[in-house]
Amino acid sequence: MKFGGTSVGSAERIRALAEIVRARQSRKPVVVVSALSGVTDLLIKGARLALARSAESEAVIQQLTTRHREVIEALFPAGATRDRLMAYVEDILRDLKSFHTGIHHLEELTARTMDAVSGMGERLSYEIVAAHLDAVGLPTKAIDARSVFLTDDTFGRAMPLMDETGARVHEHILPAVQKGLVPVLGGFIGSTRQGVSTTLGRGGTDWSAAIVGALLPAEEIQIWTDVDGIMTVDPRLVPGAKILPEVTFEEAAELAYFGAKVLHPATIKPAVERGIPVLVLNSMNPTAPGTRIASRKSDDEIGEPRALAFKKGITVILVSQPRMLMAHGFTAKVFEVFARHKTSVDLIATSEVSISLTIDNNDTLAAVRGDLAELGEVRVFQNMAMVSVVGRGFNRQAGLAGRIFQATHEVNITMISFGASDVNVSFVVDQNDAERTVKSLHREFFEAR
Ligand code: ADP
Ligand code: ASP
Ligand code: MG
C-alpha cells in the first residue's frame, strides 16, 4: 500500500491512512509512504536558496520544523513518543542545516548533495506514520528504506539493483510481515553499495512501492492517492474528467510516461513483469472502486482513445545536415550523443536531412547541444508541451488523426509522432497552448457533444 504526499499530508490524513490499513490488515499489508505533501519541494527550494547564499534558507528549515511538529503534536499526546519523534525530526533537520552551511560555503550543490537533502522528507514521514500505526494498535516495523533499496549512483534518478534489493526485501520486510507486523518505509530513497543516499527521481514512491510489491511478491499493489483513480485527463485541468475503471498496463505506462502525474512512469514495469495487478485508489474516498491496471485481454479492440496526457517544459532539438542527404549512420551518430549524456529522448520525427527530437530535462542540454553541433546545424525550442492521446488499436481506426487534428486546428503543431505504437499519438505545441489543446481534445473524445 503506497500513500502519496497528500495522503500523509496532515494528522487527519494520517489517521485516515491508519483506518484504511486496519481495514485491510488481514491481507498483510506493507506500507510505503511519501514525504508530507510539499516537503520535497521545500527541501529542494531550501538547498537552492543556500546555494544562492540567501538567508531565506533558514526560514525553510523553520517551516519544515513547524510542519512536522504540528503533525506530531496533533497525533501524539505529550509524552515519550512525541518527545522521541520531535528529537528525531530535529536531528535530521540539524543535518539539513549543516548541508545548507556546506552548500553556502562551497557554493556548490551537486546531484549527490541534492539527493541527501531531497530524501529527508521520506526519512521524516515514515517514522511518524509508523509511530501512529503503533499507537492505534497496528504494530509496525519501521524500516529505513535506504537499508533496503540498493541503487546505482546516478544521483537524482538512481536505478535500484534488483537482485540486492530483492535479498534485502526478503531479509528485512518479509519476516516482519510473517510476524504479523506492518512494515512501514519511506519511498523515493535508497543508497549506493557504499551507503551514500540516493533518490529514484521525483514521484519515485510509486516506483518504490511497486518494486517492493514485485519482489515480495505481493498479491496486489495499491497506489493510494487523492483522486478516484486514473481519469480521462488530469481532473485539475478538466473538471469533467471521467474515471477509467480498468486500464491495461500498456495504457497506464503510456499515460504515465507522457505526463499523467498520477503514476510514476516506471511504476508499472516491475508489476507487469510479474503479472501483479496495480490498483489506484483514493485515500479521501476509500470505498470508491478506483482503477485496476491489469494485463491486456484481447488484441482486437477497435481503435479507441482512452485518455489524454500532457507534459510541459519540453525542449525540441532539431539537427539538420544537408550533406547527410541519404547518407547512412547519421541517425546513429545523433542518438549516440544522447546516450553519452544519459539523456532520454521522448518523441522523434525525421526527414531526409534532419531529425527533430524532444527531451524533458534540460540538465544536459548545453553539453548535448555542443556535441550535436559537430554533426550539423542545431536549433533548440524550449518551453514547449507534449500532448498525447492514449488508447488502443490506433493503427486500425480510420479517421482518428482527422478528429485529433480537427479538434486542435487552432493551435500551431510543431512536431507529430503517430504510429510508433498503436496506443499513442503525441504532438508538440507551444506550452502556452497546452491547456486549450487538451481541453478541446477532451471535448472531442470524452464529453457528449
Ligand atoms: P501522490 O502525492 O499521491 O503521489 P500525485 O500528485 O503524484 O499524488 O498524483 C495525483 C495527481 O495526479 C492528481 O491529484 C491529479 O491532479 C494528477 N493527474 C494527472 N493526470 C491524471 C489522470 N489522468 N488521472 C488522475 N489524476 C491525474
Ligand atoms: N516525495 C517525493 C516527491 O515529491 C517522492 C514522491 O512523492 O513520490 O517527488
Ligand atoms: Mg506521485
Q: Ligand 1 centroid vs 245 CA: distance in angstroms?
A: 15
**pLDDT given at position 273:** 87
299 has pLDDT over 60: no
**Secondary structure element (H or E) that encloses residue 365, with its range:** helix 365-372
201 confidence band (pLDDT: 50, 70, 90): very high
CB burial of residue 313 (10 Å; 0-12, 13-18, 19+): middle
Give the percent of the chain with pLDDT over 70.
97
Q: Ligand 1 centroid vs 343 CA: distance in angstroms?
A: 25
Contact (CB, 8 A) for 211 and 160: yes
300 confidence band (pLDDT: 50, 70, 90): low
Cβ(9) – ligand 2 distance below 6 Å = no
Pick from 92, 270, 251, 56: nearest CA to 186: 92
Pick from 43, 225, 17, 231: nearest CA to 123: 43
Find the radius of gyration of the CA atoms of the chain.
23
Cβ(208) – ligand 2 distance below 6 Å = no
User: Nearest ligand to the C-alpha of residue 207?
Assistant: 2
Cis peptide before 265 (omega within 30 of 0): no
pLDDT tens readout for residues 207-226: 999 999 999 999 999 999 99
pLDDT tens readout for residues 37-76: 999 999 999 999 999 999 999 999 999 999 999 999 999 9
Cβ(187) – ligand 2 distance below 6 Å = yes
| Residue 41 alpha carbon, nearest atom of ligand 2 | 4
Contact (CB, 8 A) for 109 and 103: yes
pLDDT tens readout for residues 78-102: 999 999 999 999 999 999 999 999 9
Cβ(358) – ligand 2 distance below 6 Å = no
What integer is the mean pLDDT of 411-421? Answer: 86
Cβ(7) – ligand 2 distance below 6 Å = no
Lowest mean pLDDT among 71-75, 315-319, 365-369, 412-416: 412-416
Q: Which of 234, 308, 424 to mutate for ligand 1's pocket (most ligand atoms within 8 Å of CB)? A: 234
Whole-angstrom distance, CA of residue 201 vs CA of residue 199: 6
Q: Ligand 1 centroid vs 264 CA: distance in angstroms?
A: 10
Contact (CB, 8 A) for 441 and 389: yes
Whole-angstrom distance, CA of residue 125 vs CA of residue 35: 5
126 confidence band (pLDDT: 50, 70, 90): very high
**Mean pLDDT value across the chain:** 94
